Structure 1
Amino acid sequence: MLKEERQQLILNLLNQQGKLVATELSQTLHVSEDTIRRDLREMDAVGMIHRVHGGALPKSPPAVHYVDRQNLAVETKERLANQAAALVRNGQVILMDGGTTTLKLAERLPKSLMATVVTNSPPVAIALAGHPKVEVILIGGQLYKDSLVNIGTAAVETLNRIRADVCFLGIYSLHPEIGISVPYIEETYVKRQMISISSEVVALATSDKLGTSSSFIVAPTHSLTYLVTEKDISEEILAPYNQLGITVLQA
């Protein structure tokens, strides 16, 4: 078997199974583990897979600037936002992470809602500026331009003085075993702090985010209370999240 054929087969198996273990893969393809490790290194280098210790996971979606992401899967994000909006209650302190799906949620909060929204996302704060009954607290810090969120020590220290009833978390990658992950290390500190100060944590994730991993781990997947995702995802894909005790809501 040619190397190119073997690597295509590896990619097909990864898409089918959601993860690969190098030792098992060498047995399946009847080649040495050294050959498999070399294949995985090469495939990771060109962005075909995400290589991890002992195997491989699907590559997370490519990083796209915030402005461009606003035009992707708009109807899907709106459905997820509508589902997530049903989780808010009057009198809550609501923590809202950045992201184009959380922005849709901010735009759909009921006009009758009386609550306090704390966010590190300038677009979310602007979207809520005209809300008649929601108090908005914008957390300061260094602006991460790709995601339009404030990060850094100032943001983390401010969050340390807050207790939130619910956190709506933007998701870059989510894997039931690897956890919540992002491509930029500074984002991990803020997201991790958001999770730690919140009674409930809601992940808003389109289907392309599930079963993938990125470079820097935020927290284990069982940190989530709810996973709000698309309605057409199979039970097989969602089963590991249910087994972790996460309530999965599909929209």
Structure 2
Amino acid sequence: MLTSQRKSEILAILKRDGQVLAKALSESFEVSEDTIRRDLRELASEGLLQRVHGGALPASPATADFAHRQPIESATKRAVAKAAAGMIGEGQVVIVDGGTTAIELVRQLPRELSATVVTHSPNVAVELVEHPGIEVIVIGGRLFKHSIVTVGAAAIEALSHIRADVFFMGVTGVHATAGLSTGDLEEAYMKRALAAHAAETVVLASADKINAASQYRIGELAMASAIIVEKSTDAALTEPLEAAGVTVVRA
């Protein structure tokens, strides 16, 4: 079998099973594990999968920067954001992550709601300037321009006196065994810190982020008490998450 054919088969198995193991592939294709690992490295370099110990997972396609993601509005994104906004109660303190869905979330907040929003996203904060009942606390730090959020030691230190009711987290990968992940190391640290300062964490995830992984792990799937997904998300994608004990909310 040609290398290109073997790679195509690997991707087909990955799509079917949601993961591949180097040992099983080497036995199936009757080649060495070194050969399979080389195939996986090359496929990973093309962004076609995410390597993990012993094999690979589907790679998350959600890697575009904020400027490219912002114009992409959809009814499904608004539905996810509206479901998240509906979880915020009167007088609560909530942490809102950065990202386009997070911005849509704060746009969906009722005008009569009185609450406090803590965010490390300047864009989220600006969206709330004209909201009469929302107190806004902005976490300062180094601006990560790709996602337009603050990160780093100063941002994490600023969280030290905050105890929130819920953190609405954006991710680029949600996987039953690989957990929650994102495409930048400092963002992963920041998201983990934000989750540590909230009583519960709710993940906002479009279908293309489910059963996928990115380079940097935020934490175990159990970090999330609930995951809000599009109503049309295939049940085959969400069933492993529910089996792991996470509540899946379809919006």
Name the TM-score class by shorter chain: over 0.9
More deviation, 24-33/86-95? 24-33
SS of 1:71 mapped into structure 2: coil
Match of 2:105, as an amino acid? L
CA distance in 1, matches of 2:248, 2:22: 31
Partner of 2:210: 210
Partner of 2:3: 3
Match of 1:179, as an amino acid? G
CA distance in 2, matches of 1:84, 1:189: 23
Calculate the TM-score normalised by the size of structure 2. 0.96
- Displacement of 1:111 after TM fit? 1.0
Match of 1:183, as an amino acid? G
CA 1:96–1:62 in structure 2 vs 1: closer, same or farther (change >3 Å)?
Answer: closer
CA distance in 2, matches of 1:5, 1:169: 39
More deviation, 109-118/231-240? 231-240
Partner of 1:70: 70
Match of 1:176, as an amino acid? A
Partner of 2:103: 103
- Displacement of 1:73 after TM fit? 4.7
Partner of 1:140: 140
| 2:151 is the counterpart of 1:151 | yes
Structure 1 residues 118-197: aligned runs within 5 Å? 118-197=118-197
The RMSD of aligned alpha carbons is 1.2
Q: Is the 8 A contact 2:62 2:172 kept in 1?
A: no
| 2:221 is the counterpart of 1:221 | yes
- Displacement of 1:246 after TM fit? 1.2
Partner of 2:15: 15
- Displacement of 1:244 after TM fit? 2.1
Partner of 2:83: 83
Q: Which runs of 5+ in 2 are unaligned?
A: none
Q: Is the 8 A contact 2:81 2:108 kept in 1?
A: yes
SS of 2:111 mapped into structure 1: coil
More deviation, 177-186/100-109? 177-186
Match of 2:146, as an amino acid? D
Q: Is the 8 A contact 1:80 1:204 kept in 2?
A: yes
CA 1:173–1:73 in structure 2 vs 1: closer, same or farther (change >3 Å)?
Answer: farther
Match of 1:230, as an amino acid? E
- Displacement of 1:72 after TM fit? 2.3
SS of 2:237 mapped into structure 1: helix
Partner of 2:56: 56
Number of aligned pairs?
Answer: 251
CA distance in 2, matches of 1:102, 1:244: 25
Calculate the TM-score normalised by the size of structure 1. 0.96
CA distance in 2, matches of 1:118, 1:16: 40
Deviation per CA, 1:149-182, whole angstroms, max 9, x where unpaired?
A: 0111111011121000011001121211111112
Q: Which runs of 5+ in 1 are unaligned?
A: none
- Displacement of 1:234 after TM fit? 2.2
